[in-house]
Amino acid sequence: MTNTILSTVRQPLATAFASVAGNVYAYVPEAPMVPFVVMVPDSPYLELETIGKAQIRTKINLTISVAVAYNSNPASLDNLEQLVISVLKVIPAGYIVGAVEKPTVTQVGPSNVLVADIRVSTYYTQTN
Amino acid sequence: MATTVITGRDISLSFTGGTDIDAQATSAVLTKTNVRETYQTLDGEAYKTVNVEGTFALSMLADWGKANSVCEALWLAAETAPDTDIAITLTAATGAQFIFPIKPEFPTVGGSGTDAQTVDFTFKVSKGDVGESFS
Protein backbone atom coordinates (compact mmCIF):
# COMPACT_ATOMS: atom_id res chain seq x y z
CA MET A 1 0.00 0.00 0.00
CA THR A 2 1.34 3.41 -0.89
CA ASN A 3 2.38 5.41 2.12
CA THR A 4 0.69 8.73 1.40
CA ILE A 5 -0.48 11.52 3.66
CA LEU A 6 -4.05 10.60 2.79
CA SER A 7 -3.57 6.92 3.67
CA THR A 8 -1.47 7.38 6.82
CA VAL A 9 -2.70 10.65 8.29
CA ARG A 10 -5.98 12.00 6.97
CA GLN A 11 -7.88 8.74 6.38
CA PRO A 12 -6.95 7.24 9.81
CA LEU A 13 -8.11 10.47 11.39
CA ALA A 14 -11.38 10.30 9.47
CA THR A 15 -11.77 6.65 10.51
CA ALA A 16 -11.31 7.65 14.16
CA PHE A 17 -14.28 9.98 13.76
CA ALA A 18 -16.59 7.17 12.67
CA SER A 19 -18.41 7.30 15.99
CA VAL A 20 -19.26 11.01 15.91
CA ALA A 21 -22.75 12.11 14.90
CA GLY A 22 -21.87 13.62 11.54
CA ASN A 23 -20.65 12.91 8.03
CA VAL A 24 -16.87 12.54 8.01
CA TYR A 25 -14.64 13.40 5.06
CA ALA A 26 -10.87 12.94 4.78
CA TYR A 27 -10.87 15.54 2.01
CA VAL A 28 -13.07 18.43 0.98
CA PRO A 29 -16.10 17.03 -0.84
CA GLU A 30 -18.02 18.91 -3.48
CA ALA A 31 -21.21 19.07 -1.45
CA PRO A 32 -20.81 18.06 2.21
CA MET A 33 -23.94 17.08 4.09
CA VAL A 34 -24.45 18.70 7.50
CA PRO A 35 -23.56 17.94 10.20
CA PHE A 36 -20.08 17.19 8.92
CA VAL A 37 -16.46 16.86 9.94
CA VAL A 38 -13.87 17.48 7.25
CA MET A 39 -10.06 17.51 7.26
CA VAL A 40 -8.48 20.41 5.37
CA PRO A 41 -4.87 21.60 5.21
CA ASP A 42 -3.85 24.40 7.58
CA SER A 43 -1.18 27.02 6.89
CA PRO A 44 1.68 26.35 6.89
CA TYR A 45 0.69 22.92 5.70
CA LEU A 46 3.97 21.00 5.80
CA GLU A 47 6.92 21.94 8.02
CA LEU A 48 10.32 20.24 7.82
CA GLU A 49 11.42 20.23 11.46
CA THR A 50 13.75 17.29 11.88
CA ILE A 51 17.37 17.01 10.78
CA GLY A 52 18.37 14.82 7.87
CA LYS A 53 16.91 14.27 4.44
CA ALA A 54 17.47 10.59 3.80
CA GLN A 55 13.73 10.31 4.33
CA ILE A 56 11.10 13.00 4.03
CA ARG A 57 9.80 13.64 7.51
CA THR A 58 7.39 16.47 7.92
CA LYS A 59 5.06 18.02 10.45
CA ILE A 60 1.57 18.26 8.99
CA ASN A 61 -0.82 20.97 10.13
CA LEU A 62 -4.47 20.22 9.54
CA THR A 63 -7.70 21.92 10.31
CA ILE A 64 -10.67 19.80 11.27
CA SER A 65 -13.69 21.80 10.24
CA VAL A 66 -16.79 20.85 12.18
CA ALA A 67 -20.10 22.15 10.85
CA VAL A 68 -23.78 21.95 11.73
CA ALA A 69 -26.91 23.38 10.15
CA TYR A 70 -27.45 27.05 10.98
CA ASN A 71 -31.16 27.23 11.67
CA SER A 72 -31.51 28.70 15.14
CA ASN A 73 -28.49 30.27 16.77
CA PRO A 74 -28.79 28.77 20.31
CA ALA A 75 -29.53 25.27 19.02
CA SER A 76 -26.90 25.49 16.31
CA LEU A 77 -24.22 26.54 18.77
CA ASP A 78 -25.22 23.77 21.17
CA ASN A 79 -25.12 21.24 18.33
CA LEU A 80 -21.73 22.53 17.22
CA GLU A 81 -20.30 22.40 20.75
CA GLN A 82 -21.48 18.83 21.19
CA LEU A 83 -19.99 17.81 17.85
CA VAL A 84 -16.67 19.53 18.64
CA ILE A 85 -16.45 17.79 22.01
CA SER A 86 -17.23 14.42 20.44
CA VAL A 87 -14.50 15.02 17.86
CA LEU A 88 -11.97 16.05 20.53
CA LYS A 89 -12.75 12.86 22.47
CA VAL A 90 -11.78 10.54 19.62
CA ILE A 91 -8.70 12.25 18.18
CA PRO A 92 -6.15 9.42 18.37
CA ALA A 93 -2.71 9.47 19.98
CA GLY A 94 0.01 11.04 17.90
CA TYR A 95 -1.91 14.20 17.09
CA ILE A 96 -1.16 17.56 18.73
CA VAL A 97 -4.45 19.32 19.37
CA GLY A 98 -4.38 23.11 19.27
CA ALA A 99 -7.11 25.68 19.64
CA VAL A 100 -10.70 25.52 18.49
CA GLU A 101 -11.39 28.69 16.54
CA LYS A 102 -14.56 30.72 17.07
CA PRO A 103 -17.63 29.54 15.14
CA THR A 104 -18.51 31.39 11.95
CA VAL A 105 -21.42 31.21 9.57
CA THR A 106 -20.40 29.95 6.15
CA GLN A 107 -22.44 29.31 3.07
CA VAL A 108 -22.07 25.81 1.69
CA GLY A 109 -24.06 25.37 -1.48
CA PRO A 110 -27.52 26.90 -0.96
CA SER A 111 -27.53 26.76 2.84
CA ASN A 112 -25.73 28.38 5.75
CA VAL A 113 -23.74 26.27 8.19
CA LEU A 114 -22.15 27.09 11.52
CA VAL A 115 -18.56 25.94 11.39
CA ALA A 116 -15.64 25.85 13.85
CA ASP A 117 -12.08 24.83 13.08
CA ILE A 118 -9.99 22.56 15.31
CA ARG A 119 -6.26 22.85 14.67
CA VAL A 120 -4.28 19.61 14.84
CA SER A 121 -0.77 18.60 13.88
CA THR A 122 1.05 15.34 13.44
CA TYR A 123 4.16 13.94 11.82
CA TYR A 124 4.49 11.99 8.59
CA THR A 125 7.42 9.92 7.35
CA GLN A 126 7.54 8.98 3.68
CA THR A 127 8.71 5.39 3.50
CA ASN A 128 8.24 4.34 -0.12
CA MET B 1 33.13 30.06 -6.26
CA ALA B 2 29.45 29.51 -5.89
CA THR B 3 27.89 30.12 -2.51
CA THR B 4 27.24 26.95 -0.56
CA VAL B 5 24.28 26.61 1.75
CA ILE B 6 23.88 23.70 4.08
CA THR B 7 21.07 23.34 6.57
CA GLY B 8 20.05 21.13 9.42
CA ARG B 9 18.52 18.83 6.85
CA ASP B 10 22.05 18.03 5.63
CA ILE B 11 22.92 16.62 9.04
CA SER B 12 22.83 12.94 9.75
CA LEU B 13 23.33 11.55 13.20
CA SER B 14 23.84 8.17 14.76
CA PHE B 15 24.96 6.82 18.09
CA THR B 16 25.94 3.57 19.72
CA GLY B 17 22.84 1.43 19.99
CA GLY B 18 21.56 2.33 16.57
CA THR B 19 18.21 3.85 17.46
CA ASP B 20 16.66 6.06 14.79
CA ILE B 21 17.71 9.43 16.18
CA ASP B 22 17.37 11.22 12.81
CA ALA B 23 13.62 10.69 13.03
CA GLN B 24 13.37 12.57 16.34
CA ALA B 25 16.12 15.20 16.37
CA THR B 26 15.16 18.77 15.53
CA SER B 27 18.55 20.33 16.26
CA ALA B 28 22.06 18.96 16.77
CA VAL B 29 24.98 21.27 17.54
CA LEU B 30 28.51 20.19 18.41
CA THR B 31 30.73 22.81 20.05
CA LYS B 32 34.45 22.27 20.54
CA THR B 33 36.30 24.92 22.50
CA ASN B 34 39.93 25.66 23.25
CA VAL B 35 40.41 26.59 26.90
CA ARG B 36 43.07 29.25 26.59
CA GLU B 37 44.97 30.92 29.42
CA THR B 38 46.10 34.51 28.96
CA TYR B 39 49.33 35.68 30.53
CA GLN B 40 50.36 39.29 30.98
CA THR B 41 54.05 39.47 30.11
CA LEU B 42 56.43 42.35 29.71
CA ASP B 43 55.91 41.96 25.96
CA GLY B 44 52.12 42.06 26.31
CA GLU B 45 49.58 39.25 26.30
CA ALA B 46 50.70 35.68 25.69
CA TYR B 47 48.40 32.73 25.23
CA LYS B 48 48.54 29.05 26.01
CA THR B 49 45.83 26.54 25.28
CA VAL B 50 45.67 24.27 28.30
CA ASN B 51 42.66 22.12 27.50
CA VAL B 52 40.09 21.30 24.85
CA GLU B 53 36.44 20.93 25.82
CA GLY B 54 33.32 20.03 23.94
CA THR B 55 29.58 19.97 24.31
CA PHE B 56 26.88 18.48 22.15
CA ALA B 57 23.46 20.16 22.26
CA LEU B 58 20.61 17.99 21.03
CA SER B 59 16.95 18.94 20.81
CA MET B 60 14.47 16.27 19.91
CA LEU B 61 10.85 15.25 19.94
CA ALA B 62 10.31 12.88 22.84
CA ASP B 63 9.69 9.28 21.80
CA TRP B 64 8.82 7.50 25.04
CA GLY B 65 6.99 4.25 24.35
CA LYS B 66 8.23 3.87 20.78
CA ALA B 67 10.10 0.69 19.78
CA ASN B 68 13.83 1.46 20.00
CA SER B 69 13.09 4.73 21.76
CA VAL B 70 16.00 7.18 21.88
CA CYS B 71 14.74 8.64 25.17
CA GLU B 72 14.53 5.23 26.77
CA ALA B 73 17.97 4.20 25.48
CA LEU B 74 19.55 7.36 26.89
CA TRP B 75 17.69 7.04 30.20
CA LEU B 76 18.89 3.45 30.65
CA ALA B 77 22.43 4.39 29.67
CA ALA B 78 22.45 7.27 32.17
CA GLU B 79 21.11 4.96 34.86
CA THR B 80 23.21 1.86 34.30
CA ALA B 81 26.47 3.23 32.91
CA PRO B 82 26.65 6.98 33.56
CA ASP B 83 30.40 7.15 33.03
CA THR B 84 30.53 5.00 29.91
CA ASP B 85 30.89 6.90 26.67
CA ILE B 86 28.33 6.79 23.89
CA ALA B 87 29.92 7.21 20.46
CA ILE B 88 28.21 9.81 18.29
CA THR B 89 28.74 10.23 14.57
CA LEU B 90 27.54 13.55 13.18
CA THR B 91 27.78 14.35 9.49
CA ALA B 92 27.32 18.09 8.99
CA ALA B 93 27.16 17.65 5.22
CA THR B 94 28.58 15.19 2.76
CA GLY B 95 32.34 15.15 3.29
CA ALA B 96 32.42 16.55 6.82
CA GLN B 97 32.01 13.94 9.50
CA PHE B 98 32.67 14.25 13.23
CA ILE B 99 32.97 11.36 15.64
CA PHE B 100 33.00 11.98 19.37
CA PRO B 101 32.14 10.34 22.70
CA ILE B 102 29.57 11.80 25.08
CA LYS B 103 28.53 11.00 28.61
CA PRO B 104 24.90 9.90 28.88
CA GLU B 105 22.36 12.22 30.52
CA PHE B 106 18.82 11.64 31.69
CA PRO B 107 16.18 13.09 29.37
CA THR B 108 13.53 15.34 30.85
CA VAL B 109 10.04 13.87 30.99
CA GLY B 110 6.71 15.58 30.31
CA GLY B 111 5.48 18.72 28.61
CA SER B 112 2.65 21.18 28.25
CA GLY B 113 -0.88 20.31 27.23
CA THR B 114 -0.76 22.06 23.90
CA ASP B 115 2.62 21.07 22.50
CA ALA B 116 4.54 18.01 21.50
CA GLN B 117 6.79 16.73 24.27
CA THR B 118 10.36 17.72 23.57
CA VAL B 119 13.71 16.98 25.19
CA ASP B 120 16.80 19.19 25.20
CA PHE B 121 20.21 17.84 26.10
CA THR B 122 23.61 19.39 26.58
CA PHE B 123 26.00 16.45 26.62
CA LYS B 124 29.61 16.73 27.69
CA VAL B 125 32.02 15.49 25.06
CA SER B 126 34.45 13.26 26.93
CA LYS B 127 37.88 14.91 27.02
CA GLY B 128 36.78 17.19 24.19
CA ASP B 129 37.82 14.35 21.94
CA VAL B 130 36.29 15.13 18.56
CA GLY B 131 37.65 13.30 15.52
CA GLU B 132 36.97 14.86 12.18
CA SER B 133 37.02 13.54 8.64
CA PHE B 134 37.02 16.10 5.83
CA SER B 135 37.11 15.18 2.19
Domains of chain B and CATH, by start: 8-134 (2.40.30)
ipTM tops the 0.85 cut? no
Whether B28 and chain A come into contact, CB under 8 Å, resolves to yes
Residues from A in contact with B at Cβ < 8 Å:
48-55, 57, 96-98, 121, 123, 125
Chain B CB contacts of A97 below 8 Å: 114
Kindly report, residue by residue over B80-112, the tens digit of the pLDDT: 999 999 999 999 999 999 999 999 999 999 999
**Gap between the Cα atoms of B125 and B104, Å rounded:** 10
Q: Which domains does chain A have, with CATH numbers?
A: 5-125 (3.30.2000.10)
CA-to-CA separations, A13 to A71, B115, B135, in angstroms, rounded: 28, 19, 46
**Gap between the Cα atoms of A115 and A83, Å rounded:** 10
**DSSP letter (8 states) at residue B87:** E
Helix (H, G, I), strand (E, B) or coil at B126: helix
Q: Nearest chain A residue to B94 by CA: give it.
A: A52
Kindly report, residue by residue over B38-74, the tens digit of the pLDDT: 999 999 999 999 999 999 999 999 999 998 899 999 9
Determine if residue B44 is left, alpha or beta; phi over 0 gives left, psi from -120 to 50 gives alpha, anything else beta: left
With beta carbons less than 8 A apart as the criterion, state whether A67 and A113 touch.
yes
Nearest to B9 among A52, A98, A121 (CB): A52
Closest CA to A94 of B45, B64, B81: B64
